[in-house]
Amino acid sequence: MQQSHAYNDTSLALTTEVLDAKARKNLSWQDLADDTGLSLAYVTAALLGQHPLPEHAAKVIGKKLDLTADSVARLQIIPLRGSLAGVPTDPTIYRFYEMIQIYGTTLKALVHEQFGDGIISAINFKLDIKKVEDPEGGSRAVITLDGKFLPLRPF
């Protein structure tokens, strides 16, 4: 039977345990995602407390991190999602916040013009990030947010 968290306390403790083991074993997020059958972004989000892992993936990661059976079971619990409150202070997260502050209304206008009234789902969603070389020097981050459009249904 699926279980669900009601508070973030247990998720935070599990995330801390995962991060400690990941650092101790010098593993990358990709190392952890390998052999789970899931995307890098999904596994990373799950291990940071934002998604449950299917049993197979939880067991694969549990073995890689030497987690207890209890911790492997807790990786499968549906979390209380959302990790940010207020304006983020971490510079990397803040830049995403800044992007939404600047381009949020543009994205909203374009979505509504092209799709109609509705939202883009963060549940039926795919995320990808790639590092590409910038022709002007350095690197660029190409981030793809791929969400299903859910139209408003009057009732």
Q: Residue 5: which of 83, 85, 84, 88 has the closest Cα?
A: 83
Q: What is the per-residue pLDDT for 132?
A: 97
Question: Which one is catalytic: 11, 98, 113, 140?
Answer: 98
Question: Which one is catalytic: 24, 28, 55, 121?
Answer: 121
Our count of domains for the chain comes to: 2
**What is each CA distance from 34 to 61, 72, 145, in whole angstroms?**
9, 17, 22
Q: What is the per-residue pLDDT for 8?
A: 74
Residue 84 falls inside a structural domain: no
For residue 29, give its domain range.
7-75
Indicate whether 130 and 98 sit together in one domain. yes
Residues of the chain with pLDDT under 70: none
Active site residue 153: no
Domain boundary among 50, 75, 100: 75
Domain boundary among 42, 75, 108: 75
Residue 19 falls inside a structural domain: yes
Question: Which one is catalytic: 28, 39, 55, 95?
Answer: 95
Active site residue 17: no
CATH number at residue 95: 3.30.1160.10
Which pTM does this prediction carry?
A: 0.83
Active site residue 98: yes
pLDDT per position as a tens digit, 94-105: 999 999 999 998
pLDDT per position as a tens digit, 3-18: 887 777 778 899 999 9
Indicate whether 102 and 132 sit together in one domain. yes
CATH number at residue 11: 1.10.260.40
Indicate whether 32 and 71 sit together in one domain. yes
